[in-house]
Amino acid sequence: MLSGSIVTAQTTEMVVKKIQDEANNNSQLENLAHHLMDVIGPRLVGTPQMMQAHNWAVDKYKSWGIDARNEKWGEWRGWERGITHIDLVEPRVVTLSGMQLAWSPNGPKKAVTAEAVILPTIANAAEFEKWLPSVKGKFVMVSMNQPTGRPDYNWEEFATEESFTKMKENRDELTKAFYDNISNTGYTTRNINEALEKAGAVGIIQSYWSRGFGANKVFSANTKKIPVIDLQLEDYGLVYRLAEFGSKPKIRLKAESKELGKVPTFNTIAEIKGTELPDEYVILSAHFDSWDGGTGATDNGTGTITMMEAMRILKKVYPNPKRTILVGHWGSEEQGLNGSRAFVEDHPEIVENMQALFNQDNGTGRVVRISGEGFLHSYDYIGRWLEAVPRDITRHIETTFPGTPSGGGTDHASFVAAGAPGFSLSSLNWSYWNYTWHTNLDTYDKIVFDDVRNNAILTAIMAYMASEDSETTSRVRSVLPISPRSGEQMTWPEPRSPNRKGGLD
């Protein structure tokens, strides 16, 4: 027995060293990132770029000798982005920084020039209805004008305490006044665009600032016939002030896009078949889709290339795993974990025989947190697997056992909700929430490749250890978490049937 343990330890040490050598000396991360982010670009569900990414990933896996396929899970609204060009033409000429929102209706075939107006301060819905006809033929600005374009940390570093406090109080007052005014219209920020569209506006202009220099969050439109444009904070403020002070700014807009009808939607699946326990699974997981304000580099291009690189390395140094190692690149995570929930529903035999799943999503940074997700014995097996990981990686990682389910924030939750041991490899944020999460700045240049390489090594070693483990992981869950509000025991989340018909819910 002692001799066998020594041999096993020596084998593990050898495989781990090979994983590190391959990752450090033959890395494909930069090439993968370039093609995915720079060549293909953003991967909004229902767009040609998303389909192009699926096909590229399948071809790439096959070039590495790994079986891969695209699995259809449903349909979605097909849409293709075109050119967006926005200019201020009066009282002076400025090319503005902004873009058409996802799924925004196409603008007129010719560029349209019209005055930009702001929402009035009104006392009640009747007053707003009286004002509405005046928007006909105009662009309407529907976002709050920010009192500062500097992030709070900038104020905290350079402003006096009194000045910083004054700015925050002023911002709070303006924010309350803005939302109170919206409420007075009888509409909400979600449906006021519909009223403006019905009244004859030629377009909606908004600005969803992320509170970071140059970063705007760019989501989806909610109009049927007129385009919705997001302007960067600086340009939005310029046009807003011109309108507010009576300069009657005019905007020239050329916005092109195409409606493509219903299109099929997919997950990309690749696997290295197990030799001893082929019907048991270790799953690597990352969502493939993105919003399209930037190119989806840190959400979730980095998670995607981490899993692709880990699979490439494993195929090279561990081509005959004990258990099947499968990777899932999920579609439509951003609209409600649709791809991963569909996989859970469509493949109960895989979920039932899952040894573990490792998911990576939130940004470019090195992994620093792993939770047991409420699985009572997760400490035993996660702890065992982490022992094989080099100290220069594990010294950054904080573990929480048994932990509690982290909710529906990303795709491992689809598996946890079905009772399967799925774990999030949570990373340092590198100002993710302010600068790259769902913003126009989520691009290749924000990737920190040393950290992504760290994560690929970690993932490959964890997959190897989970595959080789002589024990099957326990699914016994800890005592259910207690609701902080009522003190009552909470129920575990149930897997939901994904929306497979392409609604934008």
CATH architecture, domain 12-78+262-468: 3-Layer(aba) Sandwich (3.40)
State pLDDT tens for residues 155-172.
999 999 999 999 999 999
Give the chain's end-to-end CA distance (angstroms, integer).
57
Residue 97 CB contacts under 8 Å (≥ 6 apart), including other chains: 86, 231, 232, 234, 235
Which pLDDT band holds residue 486 (cuts at 50, 70, 90)? very low
What span, in angstroms and rounded, lies between the C-alpha atoms of 155 and 159? 5
Q: What's the average model confidence in pLDDT over 52-60? A: 98
Chain-centre distance for alpha carbon 109: 32
Taking only the tens place, the pLDDT of each residue in 297-339 is 999 999 999 999 999 999 999 999 999 999 999 999 999 999 9
Q: How far, in Å, CA of 394 to CA of 439, rounded?
A: 31
The Cα 176–Cα 183 span in angstroms is 11
The pLDDT score that the predictor gives to residue 498 is 53
How buried is residue 52: exposed, middle or buried, by Cβ count under 10 Å (0-12/13-18/19+)?
middle
Q: Which two tokens stand for residue 469?
A: 């483990």
Q: What is the pLDDT of residues 76-129, one digit of tens each?
A: 999 999 999 999 999 999 999 999 999 999 877 789 999 999 999 999 999 999
pLDDT at 505 over 60: no
Give which of 113, 131, 114, 110 is closest to 122, Cα–Cα: 131
196: Cα separation from own chain's centroid: 30
The full 3-state SS of 485-501, as one line of letters, equals: CCCCECCCCCCCCCCCC
pLDDT at 190 over 60: yes
Query: By CB neighbour count within 10 A (0-12 exposed, 13-18 middle, 19+ buried), where does 488 fall?
Result: exposed
Q: What is the pLDDT at residue 437?
A: 92
Does the pLDDT of residue 494 top 50, yes or no? no
Q: What angle in degrees, to the nearest 10, is found between the helix axes of 2-25 and 302-317?
A: 130
pLDDT at 362: 85
Percentage of residues of the chain with pLDDT beyond 70: 93
Nearest Cα neighbor of 285 from 323, 341, 336 is 341
Nearest to 148 by CA among 136, 137, 135, 158: 158
User: Which amino acid is it at 80?
Assistant: E
Q: What mean pLDDT comes out for the span 335-352?
A: 97
Residue 71: closest CA among 297, 339, 322? 339
Per DSSP, 213 falls in state T
Phi, psi at residue 170, to the nearest 5°? Answer: -65, -40
Q: In the predicted model, what is the mean pLDDT of residues 444-455?
A: 98
State yes or no: pLDDT of 495 exceeds 60.
no
CB 301 within 8 A of CB 25: no
Taking the domains of the chain in order of start, what are their residue ranges?
12-78+262-468, 92-248
Cβ atoms within 10 Å of 149's Cβ, excluding its own: 15
Residue 100 and residue 82: Cα distance in Å, rounded? 9
Q: What is the mean pLDDT of residues 448-476?
A: 97
- Judge: domain 92-248, CATH 3.30.70: no
Q: What is the mean pLDDT of the chain?
A: 93
Q: What is the CB neighbour count within 10 angstroms for residue 205?
A: 27
* 356-362 average pLDDT score: 96
- Which DSSP letter does residue 428 get? -
Neighbouring-strand partners of residue 398: 369
Q: From residue 330, how far is each of 57, 184, 252, 446 by CA, in Å?
A: 12, 42, 39, 22
Strands 98-100 and 228-231: antiparallel
pLDDT at 489 over 60: no
Among the ranges given (20-24, 147-151, 288-292, 485-489), the one the predictor scored with the smallest mean pLDDT: 485-489
Residue 8 — very low, low, confident or very high, per pLDDT cuts 50/70/90?
confident
CA nearest to 271, candidates 263, 286, 281, 261: 281
Q: What is the pLDDT of residue 484?
A: 32
Q: What is the rounded distance in angstroms from the CA atom of residue 294 to the CA atom of residue 51? A: 18
Using the predicted structure, report yes or no on whether residue 471 has a pLDDT greater than 70.
yes
pLDDT over 90 at 188, yes or no: yes
pLDDT of residue 109: 78
What is the arithmetic mean of pLDDT over 240-264?
97
pLDDT given at position 493:
35
Per-residue pLDDT band for 408 (boundaries 50, 70, 90) equals confident
